[in-house]
Structure 1
C-alpha cells in the first residue's frame, strides 16, 4: 500500500514574530493577534516587565507537550482526565555573559508530567513515545544537545479542578 501524496510531500508552515526593542533589556513582541513582552530582571539591568526569553521557551515546552499529549491521546483513545506539566531548565549563564566557552542554551531540562487517568503504565509508555517523537519544542531542545530527563507518572482517581 502506498502512502498518500499529501503524507509524503512537505507541508511547510511559516511561523512569524515581530519584535521592537524598548531598551533596558525589554522587547515588545507580536505573534499573529497576540502581543507580549520579554524582559530581564532588575538585577540584570532590566525592567522585570515580563518573562525572560528562556522562561518563555520553558513555558512553550510545557504548552507544546500539553497540546501534543491531547492530540495523541485522542488518536489513541487514551482516557485523559487531567494533566499537570512542570519543567525546569538549567542554564550556565557564563555563556550569555561571555565569561566562559559554554553554550548559552539549556544544559539540561527536567520535565515532570502527572496524568490523571485509569490507563495502565504500558499505555502511558506508548503515549509518551508518540508524543516525544512529534512535539516540536521538545525536539528543538533535545536536538540542541541539552540533557532532557522525563518524569511521567499516573495519578489515578483525582480529577483536575
Structure 2
C-alpha cells in the first residue's frame, strides 16, 4: 500500500471547523466580511497558500543544505489569483539570503522536491465519498 497522509476536519458551527494534523490542530474560519464568518482562523484558501509557501520554504532550506549553501534568511510569499471558485494562478516569490549565483540553482532544486507544488502542478486525482450518520428520515 502506498504511503498516505490523512488530516481530519470537524465542523464546529457556521464557517468554523477544527482541523487535526498529526499532533497539531488549527481552527479554520472565514473572515467577518463573509456572512457567518467569525475570523477565528485562516480561511481554507489561505491554508492552501500557506501550504504552498511553507512547503516551498522548507524545500529551499533543504536544497541549500544539500548544496552546502548557508542561508542568511529566507522569506517566501505565495499569492493566489482568484478565477471564479478556484485560483487560476499561484505565484511564489522567494527572498533567499544566499549568493546571487545560487538563487536559480536552489529554486530549481526546491521545485523538484516540494510536495505541495508538485501536487498542484501534477493535478492529483481527487475523489469524494460520503456516508450518513445519525437518524434517518422517516420514510413512512
TM over 0.5: yes
Q: Does 1:112 align with 2:93?
A: yes
Take 2:33 and 2:100, find their aligned partners in 1: how far apart are those partners?
Answer: 47
Q: Does 1:126 align with 2:113?
A: no
Q: Deviations over 1:87-108 (max 9, x none)?
A: 210123x33xxxxxxxx2x111
SS at match of 1:80: coil
Q: Does 1:140 align with 2:119?
A: yes
Instruction: Report the number of matched residues.
Output: 122
Take 2:82 and 2:122, find their aligned partners in 1: how far apart are those partners?
Answer: 16
Take 2:91 and 2:63, find their aligned partners in 1: how far apart are those partners?
Answer: 21
Counterparts of 1:9-158 in structure 2, within 5 Å, are 12-44=2-34, 45-92=36-83, 94-95=84-85, 104=86, 106-117=87-98, 119-121=99-101, 123-144=102-123
Unaligned runs of 5+ in 1: 1-9, 96-103, 145-161
Take 2:100 and 2:17, find their aligned partners in 1: how far apart are those partners?
Answer: 46
Take 2:19 and 2:64, find their aligned partners in 1: how far apart are those partners?
Answer: 33
Structure 1 segments of 4+ aligned residues over 2 angstroms from their partners? 140-144
Report how far residue 116 of structure 1 moved. 1.3
SS at match of 1:128: helix
2:128: which partner in 1? none
Take 2:78 and 2:19, find their aligned partners in 1: how far apart are those partners?
Answer: 24
Report how far residue 53 of structure 1 moved. 0.8
